């Protein structure tokens, strides 16, 4: 029995030779050995143990909103936790599984008059992905509201890590260094606020995003981190007259220079080349080494 046949016999929903097009927000194609959709922790452990026994790489993916896949074949098992979607709201404390959609969560709690997640209503991530990235916007991020997270360790034991344990910093958590740690659940502490004020703020920010970001095209949001609070990556790129610059089907957005969009059937390789070329030109001109927010999946 070959690996694909063995995979299909696992107690888990699995697709083999899977196209990656609908599992990343750039909508670029690629193929992987398999993608698994465990419905619970037992199934998740089964997939991980199988991968270890057969020396196959695994990777947790959420909405794929910061991933750039290549056109190569990935001999790995991707794991999508979309079925991990439990949510408990106890007064101002939220306990939510890692596969829950972050934007959906932010809107839900905001409509209940809970303040603190307004920043997340425009971030197309899962809760787990947001914890992993310390996702943020508008001078706030996950670290401002997270109390603790349940983590599956490499030995398949579950531990609860505090905010401090996760070593948050700007767009960073310890999960990025120790990629064999898997976020299963997060606990957030919010504050009671005025529903109308919260929703008005969200709507104003939504209008600003629609006006300033190329949301009509597939992308993965901002490509580069801003070097400082006063130096903006998009402005550096725009000043180099790179808006509209393209490689293959990948283009630097005319609307916002810190967005690369899939304008015309771009490949992940087109996108990577354009990002790396832009990074090099900024460094050549300004001596600033821009940090890439997106992950090139190798």
Rounded CA gap, 105 and 117, in Å?
8
Whether 171 is catalytic: yes
**Helical H runs in the chain?**
3-8, 41-53, 102-111, 127-133, 195-212, 233-239, 268-286
Contact 252, 59 (CB under 8 A): no
Contact 4, 16 (CB under 8 A): yes
Whether 222 is catalytic: yes
Rounded CA gap, 70 and 195, in Å?
44
Nearest to 68 by CA among 238, 273, 227, 281: 273
Rounded CA gap, 133 and 168, in Å?
9
> Among residues 140, 171, 205, 277, which one is catalytic?
171
Nearest to 259 by CA among 217, 211, 295: 217
Contact 148, 187 (CB under 8 A): yes
Strand order in the sheet with 31-37: 13-19, 31-37, 73-80, 57-61
Rounded CA gap, 90 and 223, in Å?
36
> Among residues 70, 98, 115, 222, which one is catalytic?
222
Rounded CA gap, 271 and 101, in Å?
25
> Among residues 43, 118, 185, 293, which one is catalytic?
293
Contact 39, 234 (CB under 8 A): no
Q: Which residues are catalytic?
A: 171, 222, 293
């Amino acid at each position: 029995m070959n690996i694909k046949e063995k995979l299909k016999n696992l107690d888990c929903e699995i697709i083999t030779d899977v196209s990656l097009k609908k599992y990343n927000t750039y909508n670029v194609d690629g193929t992987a050995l398999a993608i698994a959709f465990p419905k619970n922790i037992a199934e998740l452990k089964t997939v991980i143990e199988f991968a270890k026994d057969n020396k196959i790489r695994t990777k947790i993916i959420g909405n794929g909103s910061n991933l750039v896949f290549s056109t190569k074949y990935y001999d790995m098992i991707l794991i999508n936790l979309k079925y991990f979607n439990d949510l408990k709201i106890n007064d101002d404390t939220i306990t939510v599984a890692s596969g829950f959609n972050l934007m959906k969560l932010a809107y839900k709690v905001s409509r209940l008059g809970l303040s603190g997640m307004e920043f997340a209503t425009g971030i197309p991530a899962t809760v787990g992905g947001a914890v992993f990235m310390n996702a943020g916007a508008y001078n706030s991020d996950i670290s401002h509201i997270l109390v603790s997270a349940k983590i599956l360790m490499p030995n398949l034991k579950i531990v609860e890590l505090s905010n401090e344990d996760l070593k948050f910093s700007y767009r960073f958590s310890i999960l990025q260094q120790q990629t064999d740690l898997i976020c299963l659940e997060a606990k957030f502490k919010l504050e009671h606020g005025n529903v109308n004020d919260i929703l008005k703020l969200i709507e104003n920010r939504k209008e600003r995003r629609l006006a300033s970001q190329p949301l009509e095209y597939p992308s993965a949001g901002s490509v580069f981190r801003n070097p400082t609070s006063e130096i903006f990556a998009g402005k550096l790129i725009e000043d180099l007259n790179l808006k509209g610059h393209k490689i293959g089907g990948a283009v630097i957005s005319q609307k916002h220079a810190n967005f690369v969009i899939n304008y015309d059937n771009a490949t992940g390789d087109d996108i990577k080349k354009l990002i790396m070329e832009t990074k090099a030109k900024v460094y050549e001109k300004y001596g600033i080494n821009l940090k890439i927010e997106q992950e090139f999946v190798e």
